[in-house]
Chains A and B, each alone.
Chain A
Amino acid sequence: MDRAWIDGRPAAEADALAAAAELLERSRQPFVGGLRTDVSGIRAALGLARRIGAIVDHGESDAIYPLLTALRDGGAFLGAPAEMKRRADRVLVLGDEVAKVAPDLLAMLTETEPDLGVRTRGDAREFRSLCRAPLDSAGRGRAEHVDCAPEDIVDVVGLVRAKLSGRRAGEGAVGGDAVAGLAEFLKGAGFAAVVFAPAELGALGTEQVFGLVSDLNETTRASTLPVSASTNAMGAALQGAWTSGFPLRVGFGRGAAEHDAALFSARRQLSGDGEADLALIVDALAEPGAGGPPCALPQIAVTSEPGAVEGARVTFAVGAAGCDHDAVFYDARFGSFVGRPADAKSELPTAAAILDALADRLGGRVADAA
């Protein structure tokens, strides 16, 4: 089985490493992206990026940046899914993305009942949805649906906040009664959970949701469950934070990590309009991705897909993390990192091994951190 290709033709791994290293060496500004891999793969990618002065972003970080931006602009209230399962007696679902990107989470909430808390346990969980499509099921619980266009959701949340604070709230897109009903629903909760997709509501909409929950916590208890289409991007951003100080979108071009959420985004860099002139793309998970931005740059591919990546100057075949080799991933349900043993160990190298091998060959470019 071929494991490496140069310009689409099978090559020995050593030759491919030499060819990739040469491309990286000659690049004025390399970009390291994709990052669909496990913790050890991302550690290696960040290490390589630091060594070669690359710009780094995850291919799917558009899915998480609205959350990160809102959090660092105004703070957040964040719940763990497992705790909300046991604690939340009332759940507000904002937007239609939730059912698309986190059906498991919704199922967990609809199929169970809260069993902790004097005010919250024992009764069936109640649901409100503010979106287009009503919830599929609310188990034993009562579910009421407020039909709302995606572009109106954030406004309605603002009206609910006004209503809760006793300010005059207009009719808005859903009418005053619906707004009053949502306000009552939340205010009367023992513990309310607001489930939403920050990518759908945007950074400002996400701030509005955190503001709502902050208001609620003045008198009762509430938290949120933000969901995203890319758990993998969230894990990479967390790892980027401890490794470089920033949740990716960093450049190591001047040695120390510099962060710019707009300038260093994968979308901008891969379009060819950014500073990067070469992309190293890691795509080494068994599950299909949410889809990253298209790549208009010459590419080095590190992939668990069979065969050479079309158009790539160099391709390395690697194992799929958690499938071909043991791996550690961020897990959205758990809200932290978990180990996942391999389904069946294969002989394929890990993405980390290829990236480390490249870093070793490029050792001279930028001195080690210390």
Chain B
Amino acid sequence: MLTRLKGGHVVDPANNRNGVGDVFVSDGVVVDAPTDAKAPDETIDCTGLVVMAGAIDIHSHIAGGHVNTARLLLPEWHRAFSARPGETALSKVGWTTEETGLRYAEMGFTMVVEPAMAPSSALHAHLELADTPIIDKATLVVLGNDDLMMSMIRDGESETAIADYVAWTVAASRALGVKCINAGGSAAFKENVRKFDFDDVVPDYGVSSRQIVKTLQKAVTGLGIPHPLHVHCNNLGVPGAASDSIAATIRAAEGDPLHLAHIQFYGYGDEGKRRFSSRAQALADLVNATPEVTVDIGQVMFGQTVTISSDELRQFAGSKQASPKKSVIFDHEANGGGVVPMDYKARSFFNALQWAIGLELFLLIEDPSRVFFTTDHPNGAPFTAYPDVFALLMDRGVRAKWLDALPSSVKKMTQLPELEREYTLEEIAVMTRAAPARLLGTPDRGHLGAGAGADIAVYRPNDDKAAMFGKAAYVLKDGVVVVKDGTVVRRTLGRAVTLRPEPDKAMKTRLDRYFDERYGVSSRWFEVPEGALRRDDPFEVVPCRA
């Protein structure tokens, strides 16, 4: 079956397209325009509409043990979560796997990465993802606070042995990449350490955060895992120390790829009478000058949300500010973590400056292919706030309006009013389509060239960019129309995109023994058996680089 998306404004920077034209789809794949005069079986009139590839969210906490604990912790929040309560039948469903998939799809997102899957929670995460409709999914598996990794570094084990362990973990958990969260910091917290810097060492291991990050970066690069090591730095949210930590981490990239997550939470200085200030300019300068790093923002938006993180040390510290006053702190193997509700208030100097710092970073980082569009859902804001974030990036007038509502003390501490940049449609397409696909190593996504998967978002242009990006006019997933006029019309099931490196046999034997002897658990429990998800086609395997 041949479908023609006819006469839309095609914005496809990966293929240097930015103009009116057609896109053809056959059997779920984008194809070249037919050379014969063959009539399409289906024509979607896109005249006056903007046609892009489906958007990709590289960092959004949508599934797994910690996310689910947030659901348990905040039953009262399920209604509040919905962007427009009462407007659709689904707004009452709650913050569920079902709603996650449908809401993302309505905005034209067709792939989302859950960025913090604990190895022990891999099956749980994939069970949730298998219940999340329409969108494709992927996961990053968390390493770096685990006893084995730190022991291997301490004992001077070979790069090969460490890479074998990383490969086994990625394969068993069916991940697309590796994340490192407050490297060594969570482990140190278990030893009652309350502050942990990049060159501090984990008690009993004598291994520093820097060593852990560098070791994992080398293993990830060496294995040919397309997505660079995804780093959540030390001292998240600590004025002064946060910005020192991220600067040290960026400098430690040393020419090899490294991704820094939710950098807004690290753009904090300790100047001013409240000892809280923006260091966005310095951080953006450093990112601009370090081409091997990519970043995502973790934009804060105002309102009730909940923070979900495997950074147990910082979540414990943050639990003092929990609103409402309740939180869950986990002492699990390796990372542990915490779930802390947060109510970001526009009238709070601190929250308002966090909001401004995020936007400063978006606007000061020059290359849209190295800065990614995230709210670190739900940590900075729920993903349902995305339409407003698009509007803030694309429209100075909208920013001015928001700024007007903030405390005047904040306006003195941010250069946001002077920043004139407005993201263009093409830059939005780079940031949310072309660049994420490249960053994740999924070449048939994020663009509309022949051979790409027919994941396509069509928007109705509007001066109100929030309205434009909030409800896609059409969304096609694998060539099937799943959304019309911002409403899901067909509920399909996407897949989890994974790597599947071949694990080393000797390492497998070693791990069988290690988990059994040390933890009293079976290494098999870390594996996600294909049949366990009870879906026809739950995975799509993409290759590592040769």
Contact = CB atoms under 8 A, between A and B. Distances in A.
B120 A335 contact: yes
A82 B331 contact: no
A159 B72 CA distance: 29
Interface stretch (B24-32, B47-55, B321-329, B452-460): B321-329
B525 A191 contact: no
B182 interface: no
Contacts of A85: 519-520
Interface string B89-129: 11011111110001000000000000000001101100110
A40 B534 contact: yes
Contact of A245 (B75, B488, B524): B75
B491 A333 contact: no
Contacts of A238: 68, 72, 124
A335 B71 contact: no
A245 B531 CA distance: 25
A336 B124 contact: yes
B536 interface: no
Contact of A242 (B96, B133, B331, B336): B96
A158 interface: no
Interface in B326-354: 326-333, 336
B131 A43 contact: yes
A68 interface: yes
Interface in B498-546: 518-522, 524-525, 527-529, 531-532, 534
Contacts of B133: 370
A77 B331 contact: yes
A232 interface: no
B534 to A, nearest CB: 5
Contact of A119 (B89, B95, B192): B192
Contact of A339 (B90, B123, B333, B336): B123
B491 A339 contact: no
B138 interface: no
Nearest to A117: B191
Given A256-B92, A370-B102, A242 B328 contact: no
Contacts of B127: 39, 239, 328, 337
B480 interface: no
Contacts of B461: none
Interface string A229-252: 000000001110111111100000
Most buried by A among B63, B189, B322, B331: B331
A1 interface: no
B75 A244 contact: no
B200 to A, nearest CB: 14
Nearest to B330: A78
A27 interface: no
B218 interface: no
B331 A79 contact: yes
A116 B519 contact: no
A227 interface: no
A326 B72 contact: no
Contacts of B75: 72, 245-246, 259
Nearest to A225: B331
Given A78-B331, A334-B521, A245 B96 contact: yes
Given A77-B331, A335-B120, A336-B123, A221 B89 contact: no
B147 interface: yes
Interface residues of A, number: 62
B328 A78 contact: yes
Contact of B191 (A40, A118, A247): A118
Contacts of A82: 333, 519-521
Contacts of A243: 96-98, 131
Interface in A65-101: 68, 71-80, 82-87
A347 to B, nearest CB: 18
Contacts of B303: none
A43 to B, nearest CB: 7
Contact of B93 (A77, A245, A352): A245
Contacts of B63: 242
Interface string A322-343: 0000101001011111110000
Contacts of B67: 242
B90 A369 contact: yes
Contact of B525 (A84, A242, A246, A338): A338
Contacts of A117: 190-191, 203-204
A244 B96 contact: yes
A370 B532 contact: no
Contact of A87 (B329, B331, B520, B522): B331
Given A72-B326, A241-B71, A87 B519 contact: no
Nearest to A112: B520
B331 A75 contact: no
A72 to B, nearest CB: 6
Interface in B230-289: none
Nearest to A369: B98
A301 B256 CA distance: 60
A369 B93 contact: yes
Given A79-B330, A116-B190, 20 more contacts: A75-B326, A76-B328, A78-B330, A79-B331, A83-B333, A86-B518, A116-B147, A117-B203, A190-B192, A191-B331, A221-B192, A221-B331, A241-B72, A242-B71, A245-B94, A246-B75, A326-B532, A352-B534, A368-B491, A369-B90
10 contacts: A43-B534, A74-B326, A75-B322, A80-B330, A82-B521, A116-B147, A117-B203, A191-B190, A328-B123, A339-B524
